[in-house]
Structure 1
């Protein structure tokens, strides 16, 4: 038996439903599962919705609390593979919810006859002068392989991979440059070294097309089907699926909102599939679902869980265990935050202060103030001590380093 699954919070349900439709349009006899990394809801029909439960995801509330929405959604991925393996599926494919399938995935399932896992690198070809939209430095941080797609076989090696991955992601699925972590992805860099004969690093140019590899590919339409031309290898492939990472259907000229310069003017061949996908997103409820708030951004009394709270909780768990619900305002951790004035009165869930236009002028003024303060420190203490001061700040400004705030400055322990 073959299965495909995705994971999403409620605000990505339009993308997940579009994915489901596209899978069933081109793939017969495959089962699709949607694992909801959010509180349950009754509004989704005609889809196998799997809700969070301790039976397959032990201590999931702790995961949902210590991780943000992206970290949590990716941390449960190997647990989902494990659950589907236990249900008897032989071959399982994971696809991000913002993927759009345009052809049969039989080639990927067939690859699992010979391999235990299939992954794709972010891009396939070496360039002396790199021309990609996503910088090489960013890709070095996030990992060689893009885990918006991954296929694993239910065999001895596949089970070993899933078990190892579960173990790592339960406590080490943060997006954290200091610890060289980028959610679930960086861990997979190890696997070709562990299992050189069992991991297929696919160079099929029609798999996992996205902003990070558009510079080496071009979209064509032949006989009513999407075809990808590999510009470096001068070879054509059927487009199996396109990965609309960072896409906003409200602005169809921008392929990925984090890289707006590399838009449809740069990659015009992809306009037809962008228009097609955006229309389907709207039809599947994008206007409604995209406005949903993430349930695990609040305590049960409505207070906002700040990123600071999650990272301090990471430190707290090194020396303490919480049997209580971490989202409860009655638990000891919340009370400690409250007593140390670490609960915000601001009820908004927007933590991206540098992105919105209205915040940028404020940030510019703050930057000017800090620049003046830093110059004052340099003037008073001299360049040598200024250097040590900057090095110290790099450590001290990490959120986990603020753990002392939980104990009124007396120590680093609760």
Structure 2
């Protein structure tokens, strides 16, 4: 199956996208990887980024793009344009499937499970849940409430097959994000992510929920996914290859935390090793030239932000 993969950033986050691209290409050299920009690539100044497949906003319908650009923040744009670029990449490359990864991700193994699913099943859409196992502890209710509030799927990864159902999914998601790719807690909407809950109803027969624990490992599922190393390879729960780690809420200038705030890496020695290497790679890819110092702790978070993310923060600390 001819697959392609992409991530989506603005020029400021090119160092992060390059770090992902390098790891993806290393482990999946047979899958073309694109760095999509919601900026204009002619504004890229450092030639180190020009060796990659760059795909910018000018490939899209600029009338739709301009409408969103007037209404949306950079974060909203980075979320809203995912299905737009996915659709356009499929059209331009005649690919049989497309894979998306958030830029703050690093790949450690082949993503051949995806092509295997598309080759052998009727599925046209692949999503990953935030968690798959019941973890019974004192925070169980709070944690499940957080998942209900912010979505059962993580939008940092998806894969779509170039079929009628796959294209219908992308078109449906585009319509939702064109109108309403924002955070609106009263309506239960978190940018592109919470819309995906509806895919379980609208695309039930075409949706494959990928429960491979090596995909989309992140701070929110570490309780069910213990990371270990055997030689040069990393594994989940001793036997499942780590395919990619999602460095969500990673803070380059506060890199001793798993989540950017409170969970210290010293509690996860193998993960600390992964984080230290990731920081080196970001630095080598000019991160400090593009994103300036921002340190954040629980004490630094304004009360209105604490209120907004209360479920999440209660999981992390007892001292709100």
Question: Aligned residue for 1:246?
Answer: 249
Residue 69 of structure 1 deviates from its aligned partner by 1.3
Matched, 1:284 2:289: no
Deviation at 1:356, TM superposition (A): 8.4
Asked if structure 2 preserves the Cα contact closer than 8 Å seen for 1:53 and 1:60, the reply is no
SS at match of 2:200: helix
Whether the aligned pair in 1 keeps the contact of 2:135 and 2:223 (CA below 8 Å) is no
Q: Counterparts in 2 of 1:5-404, with a 5 A limit?
A: 5-40=6-41, 41-43=43-45, 44-53=49-58, 55-87=60-92, 88-113=94-119, 114=121, 115-129=123-137, 135-229=143-237, 236-257=239-260, 260-291=261-292, 357=300
Determine the C-alpha separation between the residues in 1 that align with 2:202 and 2:74. Answer: 30
- Superposed CA offset, 1:50-108 (max 9, x none): 12127445331221121111111110111111101212111110000000001111112
2: distance between equivalents of 1:72 and 1:31? Answer: 24
TM-aligned CA deviation for residue 139 of structure 1: 2.3
The Cα of 1:156 is off from its aligned counterpart by 1.0
Larger Rg: 1
CA drift at 1:256: 1.4
In structure 2, how many angstroms separate the alpha carbons of the residues matched to 1:28 and 1:354? Answer: 39
Pick 1 or 2: higher relative contact order, CA cutoff 8 A, min separation 6: 2
User: Once the 2 structures are TM-superposed, how far is the Cα of residue 123 of structure 1 from its aligned partner?
Assistant: 0.9
Give the 3 Å change call, closer, same or farther, for CA 57–78 of structure 1 in structure 2.
Answer: farther
The Cα of 1:131 is off from its aligned counterpart by: 5.0
Q: Secondary structure in 2 aligned to 1:34?
A: strand
Could you tell me how far apart the structure 2 residues matched to 1:80 and 1:282 are?
Answer: 28
Distance 1:279 1:83, change over 3 A: same
Distance 2:199 2:168 in 1: 11
Measure the CA separation in 1 of the matches of 2:25 and 2:182: 33
CA distance, structure 1, for counterparts of residue 230 and residue 62 of structure 2 = 45
Residues 354 and 178 (structure 1), Cα distance of their counterparts in 2 relative to 1, 3 Å cut: farther
Aligned partners of 2:60 and 2:84 also within 8 Å: no
CA apart distance, 1:195: 2.5
CA distance in 2, matches of 1:96, 1:11: 15
Considering fraction of residues, name the structure with more helix.
2
Task: Name whichever of 32-41 and 271-280 sits farther off.
Answer: 32-41
Taking structure 2 as the reference length, the TM-score comes to: 0.85
**Structure 2 spans left out of the alignment, 5+ residues:** 305-320
Report the count of equivalent residues.
294
Q: Are the aligned partners of 1:147 and 1:184 in contact in 2 as well (CA < 8 Å)? A: yes
CA distance in 2, matches of 1:262, 1:240: 23
Task: Quickly say closer, same or farther: Cα 1:166–1:38, change in 2 above 3 A.
Answer: same
Cα distance in structure 1, aligned partners of 2:97 and 2:16: 23
Secondary structure at 2:215 match in 1? coil
1:362-411 Cα shifts (integer Å, max 9, x gaps): x89xxxxxxxxxxxxxxxxxxxxxxxxxxxxxxxxxxxxxxxxxxxxxxx
Query: How many Å separate the matches in 1 of 2:243 and 2:222?
Result: 15
- Give the whole-Å Cα distance in 2 for the aligned partners of 1:55 and 1:126: 42
